[in-house]
Structure 1
Amino acid sequence: MTGRDEIESLIGLMARLPGLGPRSARRAVLHLLRKRTGLMAPLASAMATVAEQARDCPICGNISTGATCEICADPARATGEICVVEDVADLWAMERGHAFKGRYHVLGGVLSALDAIGPEELGIPRLIARIQAEEIREVILALNATVEGQTTAHYIAEAIGPAGPRITSLAQGVPIGGELDYLDDGTISAALRARRSF
């Protein structure tokens, strides 16, 4: 492989990242090449470290480099509230709003018969076990306002049952068909404060 082939390979890999096409990837690689010592070398080192150490938190499913994530390890977050999200990006979006002080449960997707994703694949039985073990008083269903997200929310609500904790969902500010990762911090905070019974 020649030097040019390696650079083209790097551009091709960068172009696979969300939000980057071939042109944006080419510009990013050129910028990195111009700033090799100040930016490219530290970036490569940080990426290698994260690739080696990052893992899913065994409690909530967040991404962490420790045995558990910072949220699950923080005793102050044991408020009796658990916020159920579809993906880690949604958890991070909720954290940017600084409105929720409880703990999370990342499903890793939504129910989908077409994709053969059922309750077991999402760890819903593990969520139910957590609710009982952690003496949860409120479950906030912060799933995306899509058909699949709402189907998953209804399934979880039925699995918890009427004898379980209070079940709420995000309210105003979250548009139908919207995804949490694309909302601004103020919208997420307002939606969390105005949550309602599911």
Structure 2
Amino acid sequence: MQYPSKLIEDAVNEISQLPGIGKKTALRLVIHLLKQDKESTLHLSEALVNLRTQVKYCKVCHNISDEEVCNICSSHRRDHTVICVVENLPDLMAIENTAQYNGTYHILGGIISPIEGIGPDDLKIDSLIQRIKNRSNEVNEVILALSSTMEGDTTAFYLTKKLKDFDLKVSTIARGIPVGGELEYADEITLGRSILSRTAYLHG
């Protein structure tokens, strides 16, 4: 693709690195930005710079936060006896949007996937175990809200083995989520029902 300006080409190349955006879509976005007021584009660039330089991760659950402890972990209105373990931020947001869950979360930062070279040590599993140890008299249930894929099931099985020595209930969201489906793409009604009708996690 030929560009009339090196500046446009550079912008297109950067934007096209975003997931789901090809060169043609990136070009349309660049042209759109050029048509906007300069102030609007500057606000966008400032927001992106602030996002990258100022964002924090909750030291308790690893959620993205403006403070050291996110508003979920610091809220007195949440049920701190329950921890819902999710793969990533979109999964947490998907469950929050159901308005069916009032406990806390723990973001693993991925799932075990030998094919992609992701093992247990690459995930936030140790901090989950330490978190439960520190609150052993408070946490009484861990919900495994992981995608119903082979990798998700492998991660769930690993976690149940790590949690078996604790006096707590380990449950998994009901299989209202289709097998092979990604959690973040599930509709809110199905996801909400899955949380409400969660079942005990059975392992060998």
- TM-score under structure 1 length normalisation: 0.91
CA distance in 2, matches of 1:38, 1:175: 45
**Aligned runs of 1:35-114 on 2, under 5 Å?**
35-37=36-38, 39-114=40-115
Judged with a 3 Å threshold, the aligned counterparts in structure 2 of structure 1 residues 70 and 3 are, in CA distance, closer, same or farther, namely farther
CA distance in 1, matches of 2:38, 2:174: 48
- Which residue of 2 is the match for residue 174 of structure 1? 177
SS of corresponding position for 1:75? coil
Bigger drift between 148-157 and 118-127 goes to: 118-127
Structure 1 residue 116: deviation in Å?
3.8
CA distance in 1, matches of 2:8, 2:66: 30
Task: Note the residue ranges of structure 1 that are not aligned, 5 or more in a row.
Answer: none
Deviations 1:126-169 (A, max 9, x none): 21121232321111000111111101101101111064311111
Count of residue correspondences:
197
- Which residue of 2 is the match for residue 160 of structure 1? 163
Higher helix share: 1
SS of corresponding position for 1:32? helix
Structure 1 residue 179: deviation in Å?
0.7
- Quick one: percent identity of the two aligned structures? 38
1:82–1:102 contact (8 Å) kept in structure 2: yes
Aligned residue among 187, 191, 197 for 2:194: 191
Task: Note the residue ranges of structure 2 that are not aligned, 5 or more in a row.
Answer: none
Give the AA of the match of 2:155: T
1:63–1:69 contact (8 Å) kept in structure 2: yes
CA distance in 2, matches of 1:19, 1:39: 24
CA distance in 2, matches of 1:64, 1:37: 29
Aligned residue among 130, 137, 142 for 1:139: 142
Give the AA of the match of 1:37: K
1:110–1:122 contact (8 Å) kept in structure 2: yes
CA distance in 1, matches of 2:4, 2:55: 30
CA distance in 2, matches of 1:31, 1:177: 37
Deviations 1:24-49 (A, max 9, x none): 11111211211133632211111111
1:172–1:194 contact (8 Å) kept in structure 2: no
The alignment's C-alpha RMSD in Å is: 1.9
Give the AA of the match of 2:159: I
CA distance in 2, matches of 1:162, 1:48: 44
CA distance in 1, matches of 2:167, 2:161: 10
Bigger drift between 118-127 and 141-150 goes to: 118-127
1:60–1:72 contact (8 Å) kept in structure 2: yes
SS of corresponding position for 1:8? helix
- TM-score under structure 2 length normalisation: 0.88
